[in-house]
Amino acid sequence: MNNHVFRPLYLALAIVALVFLARYLLVPKDFGAHERGYMYGWHRKGNENEWKAVTVKYKTSAYCKECHDDKVAGISSSSHRFIACENCHGPALGHPEDPMKLNVDTRRELCLRCHAFLPYPSSGRSAIRGIDPEVHYPGKQCSMCHNPHNPRIPTSRS
């Protein structure tokens, strides 16, 4: 058969080969349909480990207890015992090496998250002792009178 018939065919085959070569070079080796099949599991397997490798910032109260068991024991009899240490003291990150000291959030706004009174009958919120922030010593830090680790007894009232 004549050459002019085959020439476009060769060109088409070359383009197909080029597409396959590009696919071979560009698509990661671990990319494919994994456990959940083509519809939901079509992905790069290595990405799962990338997500697993994210650093843990909040180390939980159990981690704090390893060194600060006296503080944990102090709060354990108060109504605040359910609150995780890191909610007020901030994420432990690499503490005690980095950062060496954690900054306690002593802002009034932190306490008001739970203790600003809201008249919501069908929520657990209304069961918490609350105040009206605009009437109850506005602008003052709560910890001036209340000890966050033992909130029931007001301390050093002047």
Closest distance of CB 20 from another protein, Å: 18
Closest distance of CB 107 from another protein, Å: 11
Nearer to another protein, 8 or 124 (CB): 124
Binding site for another protein (CB under 8 A): 31, 34-36, 39-44, 47-48, 50-58, 60, 82-84, 86-87, 91, 109, 112-114, 116, 118-125, 128, 133
Smallest Cα–Cα separation from 150: which of 96, 87, 73?
73
Nearer to another protein, 7 or 77 (CB): 77
Closest distance of CB 124 from another protein, Å: 5
Using CA atoms, how far apart are residues 49 and 45, in angstroms rounded to an integer? 8
Using CA atoms, how far apart are residues 9 and 87, in angstroms rounded to an integer? 69
Sign of CA dihedral 29, 35, 41, 45: negative
Using CA atoms, how far apart are residues 69 and 6, in angstroms rounded to an integer? 83
Closest distance of CB 110 from another protein, Å: 9
Using CA atoms, how far apart are residues 12 and 68, in angstroms rounded to an integer? 72
3-state secondary structure of 43: strand
Closest distance of CB 27 from another protein, Å: 9
Nearer to another protein, 11 or 128 (CB): 128
Query: For residue 43, how far is the Cα from the chain centroid?
Result: 24
Nearer to another protein, 72 or 116 (CB): 116
Nearer to another protein, 8 or 121 (CB): 121
Q: Are 47 and 28 in contact (CB under 8 A)?
A: no
